[in-house]
Chains A and B, each alone.
Chain A
Amino acid sequence: MSKKHYFDPEDLKKFGNITDWQKSMGDKYFAWYSEVMKEGALTEREKSLIALAVAHAVQCPYCIDAYTATSFEKGADEAQMMEAVHVAAVIRAGSSLVFSTQMMNHAKDLTM
């Protein structure tokens, strides 16, 4: 291994290189990405905030850096960005908590 740590902000700049070892799939990914992120039924600002929220849900430091910058560029502010992260966090928490219904069902089966 060339480095002593896993995440290096400089590596984000090399993202384009993913086409080096699989060009057609990589090219398709970037074309898909451009199509998805451009203004459509949702604005670019709204899409950036969704991307920022997902970045937190999947805990990707590269995406967090990238979509913090992009969200500002597209006109979002700190309050919108923090609310987007809360949406990701609350859904993540809820998706754990909702399993407690299974726990409760099973607990009831097991007990008198």
Chain B
Amino acid sequence: MGIHQKSKSLVSRHSELSDTFYQLRVLNGQERTDADFPKFVDRIKAAGFHDGRLSPTRIDIFQLNVGKLCNQTCAHCHVDAGPDRKAENMTRETFELCLDVLARYDIPTVDITGGAPEMNPHFRWFVEECYKLGKHVIVRCNLTIIVAHKKYRDLPEFFAANGVEVVSSLPHYAALRTDSQRGDGVFDDSMEALKMLNAIGYGVTGTGLTLNLVYNPTGSFLPGNQASLESDFKSQLMRKQGVTFNNLFAITNMPISRFLDYLLETGQYENYMQSLIEAFNPGAVSSVMCRNTISVSYEGYLYDCDFNQMLDLKVAGPLTHIRDFDLQLLQNRDIVLNQHCYGCTAGAGSSCGGQVA
């Protein structure tokens, strides 16, 4: 048991890409590549979206990224998370500001991510407070954390007691594919954790305890059809591991952070961007997740989505911090778009809830 780290954070490697401004320069053809890709904003303008602008529908999902600390260092991580990222963790004060907002407004879903959010010392208290407020809580759990230390082994029971929907990454039902992205040993630990979740009813029909898995490509290719991947995952995981789950979300890798580093280091950046652009689907634009989500960073800043957060593209307008949260103003903002947005509109589209079109 136990896992081997797949890579190191960009920050600990002192990579130029740990600077978000540098990443944006790469995405816009000003560093590392001179590939001149059509601007996303022009592309959606041509597809009939009001002057290349995109606005929210209504905010249904309050997503918090509670920190960058993680027990894994996956090769593709868009958060640049890892065991070394101890400094970046949401404080109790910031969590309290979030609870104030959640109590004040009718935002039904709280989506908690990281890093491994369970490693934040205030995690359990916060989940319980959200549950008391009657919110639907989603936790993006990397699975291996459940078996990483004895203090986490009761997480399945804790999740169940608070009606948490568990969403977990499993890039493949084959150990080699999963471990090549997430680190040796991750697959075996993930299977152990899935069996613990199944044992108390998670992912089992009729229990009301939802366990969804996330598929993402383990290389520089786009995801296939979500429904057919789901049926493969279901039959293979049952056949080989005796594991069940509810739904599979197929997510496209965004060309940012460690995945961008991988693309650049392996000389595949241009081809990958080209394939995202060729797969641009105007039908996916209206369903991108930034239209019904607000994303809060561990420091309490507000973003249109977790990807904009990782590029430090804060929400447009005067109010950029949770302490100034104003639902009306935020619902009338323009979403901040850039070249990475092609990742959300390729093929059947991509969001934290999988394909959208």
* A77 touching B221, Cβ below 8 Å: no
State A57–B224 Cα separation when bound (angstroms).
Answer: 25
Query: Which residues on the B side are within 8 Å of A73 (C-beta)?
Result: 217, 221-224
- Grouping DSSP codes into helix (H, G, I), strand (E, B) and loop, the A interface class, with mixed when no group exceeds half, is helix
State A73–B228 Cα separation when bound (angstroms).
Answer: 11
Q: A79-B174, A79-B176 are in contact. Are A45 and B223 (CB under 8 A)?
A: no
Query: Which residues on the A side are within 8 Å of B174 (C-beta)?
Result: 77-80
* B232 touching A75, Cβ below 8 Å: yes
Query: Which residues on the A side are within 8 Å of B219 (C-beta)?
Result: 72
Q: A43-B232, A45-B232 are in contact. Are A75 and B224 (CB under 8 A)?
A: yes
Q: A43-B232, A44-B224 are in contact. Are A77 and B217 (CB under 8 A)?
A: no
Query: Which residues on the A side are within 8 Å of B229 (C-beta)?
Result: 75
B12, CB-defined interface residue at 8 Å: no
Q: Tally of A-B residue pairs with Cβ under 8 A?
A: 41
* B172 touching A44, Cβ below 8 Å: no
Q: Give the B interface residue count (CB, 8 A).
A: 18
- Of A44, A77, A79, the contact of B225 (CB 8 Å cutoff): A44
Q: Give a binary string over A30-71; 1 marks a CB under 8 Å from any B CB, 0 the rest.
A: 000000000100011100000000000000000000000100
Within B194-222, which residues are at the interface with A (CB < 8 Å)?
A: 215, 217-219, 221-222
B177, CB-defined interface residue at 8 Å: yes
State A80–B174 Cα separation when bound (angstroms).
Answer: 10
Q: Give the A interface residue count (CB, 8 A).
A: 13
* B228 touching A77, Cβ below 8 Å: no
Q: A72-B217, A75-B229 are in contact. Are A45 and B177 (CB under 8 A)?
A: no
Query: Which residues on the A side are within 8 Å of B177 (C-beta)?
Result: 77-78
Measured CB to CB, the closest approach of chain A to B268, in angstroms, equals 11
Query: Which residues on the B side are within 8 Å of A43 (C-beta)?
Result: 228, 231-232
State A44–B229 Cα separation when bound (angstroms).
Answer: 10
* B221 touching A69, Cβ below 8 Å: yes
- Chain A residue with Cβ nearest B174: A77
Query: Which residues on the A side are within 8 Å of B221 (C-beta)?
Result: 69, 72-73
State A39–B225 Cα separation when bound (angstroms).
Answer: 9
Query: Which residues on the A side are within 8 Å of B228 (C-beta)?
Result: 39, 43-45, 74-75
State A48–B174 Cα separation when bound (angstroms).
Answer: 18
Query: Which residues on the B side are within 8 Å of A69 (C-beta)?
Result: 221
Query: Which residues on the A side are within 8 Å of B232 (C-beta)?
Result: 43, 45, 75
Query: Which residues on the A side are within 8 Å of B176 (C-beta)?
Result: 77-79
Q: Give a binary string over B147-178; 1 marks a CB under 8 Å from any A CB, 0 the rest.
A: 00000000000000000000000001010110
- Chain B residue with Cβ nearest A48: B224
- Chain B residue with Cβ nearest A77: B174
Could you give 10 example pairs across A and B, Cβ below 8 Å? A39-B228, A45-B232, A72-B221, A73-B217, A75-B215, A75-B228, A77-B172, A77-B176, A77-B177, A79-B174
